[in-house]
Structure 1
Amino acid sequence: MRGLLWLSAAALLVAGCSTSPGDGAAAGKQPDPRPLGGALHYTAAESAALHRAEEQEVRTCMASRGFDYDATPVGDGRRRATENPYGLLTRSRAAQDGYGLTVERLRKPPADPNARRVSALAERDRRAWEGALKGAADGPREEIELPDGPTVSVATGSCVSVARRALYGASWDRIHYSVQSLRNSVVTDTLDHSLVRSAERKWAACMRDGGFPYAHREDPLKTLRKRLDAAGADREALRATGREELRTAEQDAVCQVEAGLAEHVARAQEKVEKALPSARTALVEDFLALRGTALKRAEARGPAARQ
């Protein structure tokens, strides 16, 4: 599996895909619009620090309830940090990673350090351990009604919830879910804006000229996911799909530049956000304050949060 993962990201580049000269400079000039000033965007280092600190709080909570718990490993924060909520690509990222689909499909999930211990427990003890971690079915819950969205139910007695409150503050869940909902609505309205729709039509014409007859920007992703599903565990089929992904993503990135897609998304996002009610945007300030406090707490712990 590790060999296949390497093939999908590195060897496929040798098979005919490479970064264009001067692409780094071009990428530096390309807008990278993110909703709400990037409030929900974290660097890989920030994600790692927060994850470690939160896991330390979970372990402390579980210990207070008489349960052993080992912190779960940090995920791939680098990839998450480079992802754009509008699906915008730089040519360098497209050449190195495509859309990230083949690599993600081949990536082996990190091992759960608690799996063996929990599986060895009697059923009653296992339910108790899982109830302490995630919340018992009959435990206390908070119902968070999101603006223009569903209601989120949070198990407030779980150690996961206790850990979040300890790190971020008591109002974190309500504010975090509300800002996520607001971010999603901004993305949806921006992608539906006439400026972006116009740029997408130019993008589609460019893709057709390059031999990729796609009408909408999600179409290449749908096609590639179907190929990955059909490939299953077939090594050669996965390699072929990976090469096709890189080839498609590179053309996609070229056409995004030709259509001025990033610039149009940035302009449309600005118009969408200007129309937001002040009561909703005020939540972003509260969110940023809680996020900043949590980052300071996580960074202050330093090596302790890595245990």
Structure 2
Amino acid sequence: MATQASPTATPTLSSTNSVTLPVEDYLLKNDEDAEMLYASKILVRQCMARFGFDYAVDPGWKSPSDPKGDAANMARRYGVSDATTAARYGYHLPTNVLPAPPADAQPMSDAARDVFLGDNPRADGGGLHVKQYQGQKIPAHGCSGEAERKLGTGLDERLPESINDASFQQSMAAPQVNGAFRSWSACMRKNGYTFSTPLEPLRTRLSASPTASEIHMAESDVACKKKTNLVGIWVAVESTVQKSLIEKNQEGLTQVRSTARQTLERSAKVIAEGASS
């Protein structure tokens, strides 16, 4: 059942730059996510080495391009809302938040993949029988499973992510947000653009780099958001929805956060030991 959103106050916001939604307390920041993944790779490398395989670990995992970036995607959650970004990039993603390209690595051999995955099922339906390599027992679910067991399940964010998704969908159905959409749409029409919601421009086909016409549309988009206080209204409504959903799922969310902290502590220890060895 959808949560009824009746905000007690509506802030005036021209962008989402300083906005944090309640559910972000339970979602991993980029640097936390990177730390867990980096530690996991170190453990996988150690495990794979026992079977005679090299497993590359890219030190770049320790330095995400946007360390405090939020999993709620506030920069684009309600479409483009920052005037400076719109004037430079239009609807393109800023280059400094693009994911770093993966380090060059050789594809795994079949034998290495068997050790990595162990008895995990494969896409082709195979794999459940793989429990040994050259007489040596492979850990349950392979080296990837061993790493997860050692670190814990702090990367499992299904509950907060489901709240993050549900609140967004519910907020779009709220009368206050729909009213803001209509006001924004009317403003955009005066500038020569026909859109029903501020998410529609994000789906337009983009050229390889921002064009003058794209930038003009993005700037109009941001200006109309500011004029109608669309961001402030949307944030107020979605925050109200999230608070209600968080209250209903508080026990599970507290456990998610506790597990994440434990995994982060173990990750920090693995990384420190890896650096000293």
TM-score with structure 2 setting the length: 0.69
Structure 1 alignment gaps of length 5 or more: 1-25, 119-125, 141-155, 229-237
Residue 227 (structure 2) pairs with residue 258 (structure 1): yes
Deviations 1:62-120 (A, max 9, x none): 2234421002443864299163162353223333444444859x9883343233xx3xx
Q: Is the 8 A contact 2:36 2:263 kept in 1?
A: yes
CA distance in 2, matches of 1:305, 1:200: 52
Indicate whether 1:162 and 2:146 are aligned.
Answer: yes
Q: Contact conserved, 2:163 with 2:242, CA < 8 A, in 1?
A: no
Q: What amino acid maps onto 1:162 in structure 2?
A: E
What are the equivalent positions in structure 2 for 1:67-216 lying under 5 Å apart? 67-72=53-58, 73-74=60-61, 77-78=65-66, 81=69, 83-84=73-74, 86-88=77-79, 89-101=81-93, 109-115=101-107, 118=108, 126-134=109-117, 135-137=120-122, 138-139=127-128, 157-167=141-151, 169=152, 171-172=153-154, 175-216=156-197
**Bigger helix share:** 1
Please report the RMSD computed on the Cα atoms of aligned residues, expressed in angstroms. 3.7
Count of matched residue pairs: 241
Among all aligned residue pairs of Structure 1 and Structure 2, give the percentage whose two residues are the same amino acid: 23
Q: Quick one: structure 1 residues 306 and 268, their matched pair in 2 at CA, closer, same or farther if it must change by over 3 Å?
A: farther
> One-letter code of the match for 2:82?
T
Deviation of the 1:176 alpha carbon? 2.2
Matched residue, 1:249? 218
* Aligned position for 1:281: 250
Whether 1:219 aligns to 2:200 is yes
Per the TM alignment, residue 33 of structure 1 is displaced from its structure 2 partner at its CA by 4.0
Which amino acid letter does the alignment assign opposite residue 116 of structure 2?
L
Instruction: Say if 2:251 is the partner of 1:295.
Output: no
Superposed CA deviations along residues 169-195 of structure 1, whole A, max 9, x for unmatched, are 2x546x522332232112211222222
1:37 Cα offset (Å): 3.8
What is the TM-score of this pair, normalised by structure 1?
0.63
